[in-house]
């Protein structure tokens, strides 16, 4: 097996509605999820025994039993004798940032293993593993724009997402998703609650996308700001950028983003924001085709 590589693209919750708590303890969600043109990178090379090498600016934040090791154990359970080898992770995304970095890494690793054993590690098995290990790993496995419902396992493809610029900023205060959801105080849903299936088609229109985002928000944002007041400073700074729209928190935070119709303008505004706040993690990227 030669060296294989796979991108682990950052996940952005462009919208996030929490309907309430289910009987199983999970929160019932509805979230428009898109994937950015940046993220971590996974590699896999044949070796005698599994070895994990983590490099990159956020390598030191990866410690102990992580999702990649859990994916390896789960995949071996479904495919006896599955060979892995040397696993490389270039960790470019901050950890506990609301960008699904760990889930994206796990999903990219699953895609690598599927390339090694395509006949035995099928897509159905990979999706089973993804669902068992985390609520948003299935969406990251597909790495395409979807409407995510349920606890994250119900995915409906979204059509016509336009090309758009994104400026992301993180104040460097890691947040636990469990803490944010726990502090939400969501009401218990009736046992017979059934979410409506929503189908979206933006017809490559930025105005249609922006209008949809403006009509919805992120139900976790207020709780996250309470837990980490620095998020409010990030949101205010993004709001002040020239051409920014639909400014909000991604996922459980603390990363926030602003949407731009022009990708080049997003890059210029990100450069200015990074110069004004060198203590923040700031990146410009794009979503859409």
Active site residues: 11, 136
Q: Is 56 annotated as a binding residue?
A: no
Listed residue (29, 38, 54) closest to 189, CA to CA: 29
Q: How far is it, in rounded angstroms, from Cα 114 to Cα 112?
A: 5
Residue 253 marked in a binding site: no
Residue that the structure tokens 């410009």 belong to: 284
Has 102 been labeled as part of a binding site? Answer: yes
CB 218 within 8 A of CB 248: yes
103 assigned binding-site residue: yes
Q: What is the C-alpha to C-alpha distance for residues 20 and 25, in angstroms, rounded to an integer?
A: 10
The answer to whether 139 is annotated as binding is no
Residue entry with tokens 């919208």: 15
Find out whether 79 is annotated in a ligand binding site. no
3-state class of 260 per DSSP?
strand
Q: Is 224 marked as a binding-site residue?
A: no
Does 81 carry a binding-site annotation? no
Q: What is the 3-state secondary structure (H, E, C) of 185-232?
A: CCCECCCCCCCCCCCCECCCCHHHHHHHHHCCCECCHHHHHHHCCHHH
The response to whether 116 counts as a known ligand-binding position is no
Q: Which residues are annotated as a binding site for ATP?
A: 94-104
Q: Which residues are annotated as a binding site?
A: 94-104
């Amino acid at each position: 097996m030669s060296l294989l590589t796979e991108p682990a693209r950052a996940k952005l919750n462009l919208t996030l509605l929490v309907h309430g708590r289910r009987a199983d303890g999970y929160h019932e969600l509805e979230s428009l999820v898109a994937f950015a043109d940046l993220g971590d990178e996974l590699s896999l090379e044949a070796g005698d025994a599994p070895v994990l090498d983590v490099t990159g600016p956020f390598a030191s934040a990866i410690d102990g039993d992580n999702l990649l090791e859990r994916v390896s154990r789960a995949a071996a359970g479904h495919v006896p004798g599955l060979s892995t080898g040397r696993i490389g992770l270039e960790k470019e995304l901050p950890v506990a940032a609301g960008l699904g970095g760990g889930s994206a890494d796990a999903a990219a690793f699953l895609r690598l293993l599927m390339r090694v054993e395509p006949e035995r590690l099928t897509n159905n098995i990979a999706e089973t593993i993804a669902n068992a290990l985390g609520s948003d790993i299935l969406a990251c496995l597909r790495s395409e724009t979807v409407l995510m419902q349920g606890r994250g396992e119900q995915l409906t493809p979204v059509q016509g997402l336009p090309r758009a610029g994104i400026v992301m900023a993180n104040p460097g205060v890691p947040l636990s998703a469990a803490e944010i959801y726990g502090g939400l105080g969501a009401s218990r849903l009736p046992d017979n609650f059934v979410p409506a299936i929503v189908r979206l088609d933006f017809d490559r229109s930025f105005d249609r996308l922006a209008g949809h985002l403006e009509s919805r928000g992120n139900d976790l944002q207020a709780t996250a700001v309470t837990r980490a007041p620095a998020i409010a400073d990030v949101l205010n700074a993004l709001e002040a950028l020239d051409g920014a729209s639909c400014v909000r928190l991604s996922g459980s935070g603390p990363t926030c983003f602003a949407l731009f119709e022009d990708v080049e303008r997003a890059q210029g505004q990100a450069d200015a924001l990074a110069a004004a706040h060198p203590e923040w993690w700031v990146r410009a990227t794009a979503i859409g085709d």
